[in-house]
Structure 1
Amino acid sequence: MAGRQPDPFDDPMSLYEDNPLRERKWLQAIWRGRGTVRPESWRLYFVVLLGGEAVGMQDLIGVNFDRFRTVTTFSWLAPGARRQGLGREMRAAILHLAFGGFGAAEATSEAFFDNEASNRVSGALGYRPDGRDWATRRGEPAVLNRWRLGREDWEVRRRSDIELIGVEECKPVLSIQ
């Protein structure tokens, strides 16, 4: 990926060139997140593998989940792994964990307005538009599309080919009843 210009919507953690400082900061953020799992706030980090190679990440974030039963998803795929249906597959899998495994009532997601692929994935999986917000991207303001998926809309598209393993063992750590 060296020498390739990132898409405008890409997160700065994208490693388009060897940058040990950027990589270290990214890893520290993940380790910090893993080390601060609390009942009122948690973030689960999952790696996306293609042919045994890490090509992306899929996160599930819960803030006051025990009270609101709402999660937020975060997805990222390396440019070489895009346009193969992986974005939809990995989001469907994490939504299955949220709704089928943890009993979520709704899930939210955001994508920059020009991240057409991510916005298409949200729409295809049943999310409904939920307004817009602003974020800073490379030092400049940029519009985010917000998305919301209710349990009922997920149930309509629920997949039968996704298997959850070990969910019951992790629920107590997250204080999920």
Structure 2
Amino acid sequence: MDAWPLRHLVLRTPRLELRPDDDEGLFELVEVAKEGVHDPAEMPFSVPWTDRLPDDHGFSMLQHYWRLRAKFAADDWMINFLVRFDGKVIGSQGIGARDFGMLREVETGSWIGKRFQGSGLGTEMRVAVLQFAFDHLGARIARSGAWLGNHASNRVSAKLGYVHDGTISVAPRGERLEHVRLRLDEANFVRPEWNVAVDGLDECLPLLTS
């Protein structure tokens, strides 16, 4: 068995390719983030990592993704997929779980470079990991969340079948914000006409579904 079988995992949609992060791809991701992810006047993330980019040039961003990779365990894992469009990294799509073998629940989170927003690519990459979770891992529930004012993200969630599951308060810039918690049961997933293609999964399954 490969020491890091995730390096062979790949998800493909009609327009996108998603692979677990590697260092070369992360450096591309940093450059995408530097070009802009959201309106600077707003902070859609519970951790204000985009505010640090002008000062640390992406150093803390790299540390975050390295930390997730380093603490990967069968009972507590997170895969950060680098999303590529026309061969170029455009954003990040994460999926993770704790005690997946017992709970069969996953959590997702994502972001996409501002210049790629508005063309359905964000929806397509989220559908990719939802199909991966439900159809290939055997998940029953997918959880996510978004800032209450992030109307685009919340519209996408509603379109895919998510329902509100309460709220949580955060203060990423020292001011209180409401984040909506979202839940999607497999039976309620509104699927597109296409199916994600998954390669390199077999050796990963013991790490993901134990």
Q: Same fold (TM over 0.5)?
A: yes
Any unmatched runs of 5+ in structure 2?
1-34
Query: 1:128-163 CA deviation, whole Å, 9 max, x = no partner?
Result: 111111122222220001110001112x52654311
Structure 2 residue aligned with 1:169: 203
Indicate how the Cα distance of structure 1 residues 7 and 91 shifts in structure 2: closer, same or farther if over 3 A, else same.
Answer: farther
Are 2:138 and 1:103 equivalent residues in the alignment? Answer: yes
Q: Distance in 1 between matches of 2:96 and 2:193?
A: 21
Q: Check conservation: 2:43, 2:173, Cα contact below 8 A.
A: no
Query: 1:15-43 CA deviation, whole Å, 9 max, x = no partner?
Result: 79654x25111111111111111122100
Indicate how the Cα distance of structure 1 residues 159 and 167 shifts in structure 2: closer, same or farther if over 3 A, else same.
Answer: farther
Matching of residues 44-55 of structure 1 within 5 Å = 44-55=79-90
Indicate how the Cα distance of structure 1 residues 5 and 107 shifts in structure 2: closer, same or farther if over 3 A, else same.
Answer: closer
Q: CA deviation at 1:66?
A: 1.3
Matching of residues 1-177 of structure 1 within 5 Å = 1=35, 5-6=39-40, 8-11=42-45, 12-14=48-50, 18-19=54-55, 21=56, 23-154=58-189, 156-157=190-191, 159-174=193-208, 176=209
Indicate how the Cα distance of structure 1 residues 6 and 66 shifts in structure 2: closer, same or farther if over 3 A, else same.
Answer: same
Q: Check conservation: 2:123, 2:156, Cα contact below 8 A.
A: yes
Q: CA deviation at 1:90?
A: 0.5
Indicate how the Cα distance of structure 1 residues 87 and 112 shifts in structure 2: closer, same or farther if over 3 A, else same.
Answer: same
Q: Distance in 2 between matches of 1:48 and 1:62?
A: 20
Query: 1:1-22 CA deviation, whole Å, 9 max, x = no partner?
Result: 37x8525133333379654x25
Q: Distance in 2 between matches of 1:14 and 1:96?
A: 29
Q: Distance in 1 between matches of 2:180 and 2:156?
A: 13
Q: CA deviation at 1:52?
A: 2.4
Q: Distance in 2 between matches of 1:148 and 1:22?
A: 34
Q: Secondary structure at the match of 1:137?
A: coil
Q: Distance in 1 between matches of 2:150 and 2:165?
A: 16
Q: Distance in 1 between matches of 2:96 and 2:66?
A: 15
Indicate how the Cα distance of structure 1 residues 17 and 39 shifts in structure 2: closer, same or farther if over 3 A, else same.
Answer: closer
Indicate how the Cα distance of structure 1 residues 89 and 106 shifts in structure 2: closer, same or farther if over 3 A, else same.
Answer: same
**Matched pairs, number:** 173
| Larger mean Cα displacement after TM superposition, 42-51 or 87-96 | 42-51
- Whichever residue aligns with residue 76 of structure 1, its letter is W
